[in-house]
Chains A and B, each alone.
Chain A
Amino acid sequence: MPVTQLSTRLPHGAAGSAPAASQPRIRIRDVTLSYGPLQIIGGVSLDIVPGETICIIGPSGCGKTTLLRMLAGLAQPTSGSVELDGAVIGGPNRSVAIVFQDYGKALLPWRTAAGNVSLALEARACPRAERPAIIRELLEKIGLGRHTEKYPAEMSGGMQQRLQIARCLAQEPKVLLMDEPFGALDAMTRQALQDEVLGLVATTGATMVFVTHDLEEAIYLGDRIVCLQPNPGRVGRIVDVRLARPRDQLLTREDPEFLRLRRELYDLIKDDHQ
Chain B
Amino acid sequence: MSASTLFKNGWRAALLPVALVVIAQVAATVTQLESDSLASPLDIARAFVSVMADGSLLRATLDTLKAAAIGCVVGVGAGSLLGIVLGLFRIADDALDLTIELLRPIPVVALIPVVMMLLGFGAKMEIVIISLGLLWPSVVLARVAVKEVEPRLMEVSNMLQLGFTDRLVKIVLPAVLPQLFMSLKLAAGYALVVAVTVEITANPLGLGYGIMMAQQALRPAEMFAYLIWIGAIGWLIGVLLNMAQRGFFPAFVKGERR
A interface residues with partner B (beta carbon < 8 Å):
72, 74, 91-94, 96-98, 100, 102, 104-106, 108-110, 119-120, 122-124, 153, 171
Contact = CB atoms under 8 A, between A and B. Distances in A.
B150 interface: yes
Interface string B124-165: 000000000000000000000000001011011011111000
B156 A106 contact: yes
Given A106-B152, A106-B153, A123-B166, A72 B258 contact: no
B166 A105 contact: no
A96 B174 contact: no
Contacts of B27: none
B159 A105 contact: no
Nearest to A118: B170
10 contacts: A72-B159, A92-B158, A94-B159, A94-B161, A96-B159, A105-B153, A110-B174, A119-B170, A123-B161, A171-B159
Contacts of A108: 153, 170-171, 174
Nearest to A168: B159
Given A108-B171, A119-B170, A74 B161 contact: no
A171 B152 contact: no
B155 A74 contact: yes
B217 interface: no
Interface of B: 150, 152-153, 155-156, 158-162, 166, 170-171, 174-175, 177, 251, 258
A256 to B, nearest CB: 40
B249 to A, nearest CB: 9
Nearest to A173: B159
Contact of A97 (B152, B153, B159, B170): B159
Given A102-B152, A120-B160, 4 more contacts: A92-B161, A94-B161, A122-B170, A171-B159
A122 B161 contact: no
Contact of A122 (B159, B166, B174): B166
Contact of A74 (B153, B159, B162, B174): B159
B251 to A, nearest CB: 7
B160 A123 contact: yes
B237 to A, nearest CB: 26
Contacts of B258: 104, 109, 153
Contacts of A122: 166, 170
Given A100-B152, A108-B153, A153-B251, A119 B174 contact: no
Contacts of A94: 159-161
Nearest to A100: B152
A94 to B, nearest CB: 5
A124 B162 CA distance: 9
Contacts of A97: 159
Contacts of A110: 174-175, 177
A124 B161 CA distance: 9
Max count, chain B CB within 10 A of own CB: residue among A72, A92, A97, A100: A92
A110 B149 CA distance: 13
Contacts of B174: 108, 110
Contacts of A96: 159
A137 B162 CA distance: 24
Contacts of B177: 110
Contact of A119 (B152, B160, B251): B160
Contacts of A91: 158
B162 A123 contact: yes
Given A108-B171, A109-B258, A92 B166 contact: no
A98 B156 CA distance: 9
A122 B166 CA distance: 9
Contacts of B158: 74, 91-92
A119 B161 CA distance: 11
A39 B62 CA distance: 67
B178 to A, nearest CB: 9
